[in-house]
Structure 1
Amino acid sequence: MADFFTAPLETAIAGCSPELLRPLVGAKVLVTGASGFFGEWVIRAIRHLNRRSFSIRAFCVSRDPAAMTSRLPDLRGLSDIVWQVGDAATFHQLQIEADLTHILHMAASSHAKDRPITAEETVRTILSGTEGCIELAKRTGAHLHFVSSGAVYGSRRRSDGPAREDQIGRFAPDPADPAQAYGNAKRMAEAMLACSLDNYSVSRPFAFLGPLLPLDKHFAAGNFMRDAAMSRPILIQGDGSPLRSYLHPADLAIWLLALLAQAPRRAVMNVGSDEPLSIGELATRVSRIAGSPGPLIAGANTPNPDPAAYWPDVSRARSLGLSNSLGLDRAIQDGLTWARGTLT
């Protein structure tokens, strides 16, 4: 298996304040959502830190650990990575060591291999999983870091500027719109935490681009990487005007671990890049770096003068010592290399 992780993780660690991760030395961490995009990067970051003598022991929860370790044999049979069977409905029943120090709660979506996940399932899964992690935190005294989402800010436009953590009251997803169930459920889960615990913190991730990003799902950036890796023109379904920003997943993993280690109690911090660009500009940049045909725009010829926007203000994270170490071009390059290896 090609190593897409060591070099970017080294860069991400070097780009943050060196003492940020030190509180995790000797930690015992429960990781939910370990099978997902975020989860695999976090597990690999923990393994990387353990090679630096951090001695972190991670209890990684998956609905099907055997399938996960079969797909990733290098994560099987490790003394520092302990796999446990569980899902959102059963987190509170996990047999966890009493001296657990941290909980990194990333699980979000329900299990549905053969059918679409309904809005109701989305809400119930997020809330039941958070409730189970709260119970574990109360039982063990562990610090709980909840990975929420930038979706809690609702629909925004370029004129609104980057989303700031203190703007959560100004913007919100529409509770009457099932299409916004994910953002509403994350918002409700944050409220559950605030009413239940004191020893917790929250991150609100935005968008990411790099190795492991799914190439065939609802992530436009992943679809762009697929088309460019196959030397096909990138097809943009809309007019290309919406704004997004993208952080390399190695930076994502290190930011999440740093926030798990250092975020003050009840702190909320955005996670992502504060360098926005339009979807059309991203497609052009991916095509240029890949050497593939230029993008095709299927939408209107006249872009929206105030397009939809999804990017964070990360001043709080920067004040803690976190940075966008790898940048967008490196994220695209690494993502393309991974995509080409995956698609061949």
Structure 2
Amino acid sequence: MEQTIPSGHTLFQRDLEHVAAQLEGDLAQLRDAHLFITGGTGFFGIWLLESLLWASEKHALNLRVTVLSRSPEKFLEQRAPHLRNRAGLNFIAGGLTDFEAPADACSHILHAASETNLEQSGDWAQRHLNAAIDGTRCLLDMAAAHRSEAVLITTSGAVYSPMDSVVDNLCVEGPAGVADYASERIVYGQSKRMMEIMTSVAAQQHGYRALIARCFAFVGPYLALDSNYAIGNFIRDALAGREIVVGGDGTPLRSYLYAADLVVWLIRVLARGRSGVPYNIGGDEIVSIGELARTVAKVAGTPDAVRIKGTPVPGAKPSAYLPSLQRAAAELDLQVSIPLEEAIRRTMEWHRARTRATNPI
């Protein structure tokens, strides 16, 4: 059955209603709230914006959302013209360290911005540290000045170093060691950990709640298909009718959470999470990269269009990037609602629908 995209939104109505239904009790706590969101024009952000706007309209929540963006006009012109002049939604131009805070106090701050290194620039590590530390400090100062109720920061599963607690390939929340600071992986992960520490220390001093969401891997509409995300690259090639090529041996293990569930998990952490306690956010269906490629090809209707270049080393333990979800389930009653194959199907359907809308016959 073809899914519909309601007027004023770009996501499927089925996904928007899923988020609103799952979060009905949590969103009631945000009635009349003023949310300040960084990273609001990226993958996480667009899902948060459209889901919150839908829920606010359907349940009369009277939410106000202010989004920080380096170029709001470019975003509204090129990516989201449907969000222009939406009631309750405002944009502030600026970067993480050079923006003018809203005049009206923000009750909740969601920090979902991050510096990427798609261009492989030599100064990325410095820029990333500056954004992570200086940017987080600016937001925490704003939270103190606004007497905000809560600050949610999205960090990453990259905070887990090789010395962290890993049980059956699953990263378990807990204390971690520090390894080679010079590597991009460690710089990225440890700067995210510093954001967690800064937020928790400031919360203890100023009285707001510090919420920490350690985010792993995701799939859904708006995920970049031309970036360094394997699942995005596989979907891109499948949509183009090309063979899906796995550059390695296909053995690394991953799990993926659909973006509609991602929004549910982030807002649940914001509403119910314990202050200063990290929660892993990710999928529960473990799949190798090779199996992932075959699943994408199967959903696309071309199950044989997969080629794996490398050959597994006999007896070698596969690398894994997998979250333990025990804390999220036990404390916040969070579960994965949308299986991986269905998540891939919805993502591909969305891209096909966008293509039809852009290039009507």
Per the normalisation by structure 2, the TM-score is 0.87
Aligned residues: 339
Question: Residue in 2 aligned with 1:151?
Answer: 158
Q: Given the superposition, is the C-alpha separation of residues 238 and 193 from structure 1 closer, same or farther in structure 2, using an over 3 Å criterion?
A: same
The question of whether the paired residues in 1 share the 8 Å contact of 2:66 and 2:90 is answered with yes
SS for the counterpart of 1:148 is strand
Q: Which residue of 2 aligns with 1:310?
A: 321
1:111 and 1:244, CA in 2 relative to 1: closer, same or farther beyond 3 A? Answer: closer
1:213 equivalent in alignment to 2:223:
yes
Please show how residues 37-48 of structure 1 align to structure 2 within 5 Å.
37-48=43-54
Q: 1:113 to 1:96 in 2, by over 3 A?
A: farther
Structure 2 counterpart of 1:334:
346
Flag structure 1 segments of 5+ consecutive residues without an equivalent. Answer: none
Q: Is the 8 A contact 1:30 1:58 kept in 2?
A: yes
1:342 deviation in Å?
5.2
Match in the other structure for 1:108: 114
Tell me whether 1:243 sits opposite 2:232 in the alignment: no
1:208–1:249 CA contact under 8 A, matched in 2: yes
| C-alpha displacement of 1:217 | 0.7
Looking at structure 2, the residues matched to 39 and 66 of structure 1 have their Cα atoms a distance apart, in angstroms, of 16
Q: Deviations over 1:53-106 (max 9, x none)?
A: 121100111100001111211111012111111211124x423413x2100011
- Aligned-partner Cα distance in 1 for 2:178–2:16: 34
- 1:64 and 2:75 matched: no
- Tell me the distance in 2 between the aligned counterparts of 1:48 and 1:264: 27
Deviating more after overlay: 262-271 vs 173-182: 173-182
Residue in structure 1 matching 2:269, options 241, 244, 259? 259
When residues 303 and 342 of structure 1 are mapped into structure 2, their CA distance, relative to the original with a 3 A threshold, is farther
Among 280, 287, 305, which residue is 1:270 paired with? 280
Whether the aligned pair in 1 keeps the contact of 2:12 and 2:350 (CA below 8 Å) is no
In the alignment, which of 91, 94, 104 is matched to residue 97 of structure 1? Answer: 104
Q: Over aligned residue pairs, what C-alpha RMSD do you find?
A: 2.4
CA drift of 1:313 comes to 1.2
Distance (Å, rounded) in 2 between the aligned partners of 1:114 and 1:148: 21
Q: Name the % identity.
A: 34
User: Which residue pairs with 1:186 in the alignment?
Assistant: 192
Q: CA deviation at 1:176?
A: 2.8
Cα distance, 1:187 vs structure 2:
1.1
> Is the Cα–Cα contact under 8 Å of residues 146 and 202 in structure 1 kept in the other structure?
yes
Moved beyond 4 Å, runs of 4+: 110-117, 155-160, 341-344
- Are the structure 2 counterparts of residues 249 and 136 from structure 1 closer, same or farther at C-alpha, using a change threshold of 3 Å? same
If the length of structure 1 is used for normalisation, what is the TM-score? 0.91
Query: Which residue number in structure 2 is paired with residue 298 of structure 1?
Result: 309
Match of 1:78 in 2: 86
Unaligned 5+ segments in structure 2 are: none
Contact residue 216 and residue 222 of structure 1 kept, 8 A? yes
Give the 3 Å change call, closer, same or farther, for CA 151–173 of structure 1 in structure 2.
Answer: farther
Q: CA offsets per residue over residues 279-316 of structure 1, 9 Å max, x none?
A: 11111111001112431111124366311111111122
Counterpart mapping for 1:225-244 below 5 A: 225-244=235-254
After superposing the two structures, state which structure 1 stretch, 313-322 or 134-143, moved more. 313-322
- Greater relative CO (CA pairs within 8 A, separation 6+): 1
- 2:296 is matched with 286
Residues 131 and 110 (structure 1), Cα distance of their counterparts in 2 relative to 1, 3 Å cut: farther
2:165–2:171 CA contact under 8 A, matched in 1: no
Asked whether the equivalents of residues 5 and 44 of structure 1 are also in contact (C-alpha less than 8 Å), the reply is no
One-letter amino acid of the structure 2 residue matched with residue 153 of structure 1: Y
- Could you tell me whether the CA contact under 8 Å between 1:269 and 1:317 is conserved in 2? yes
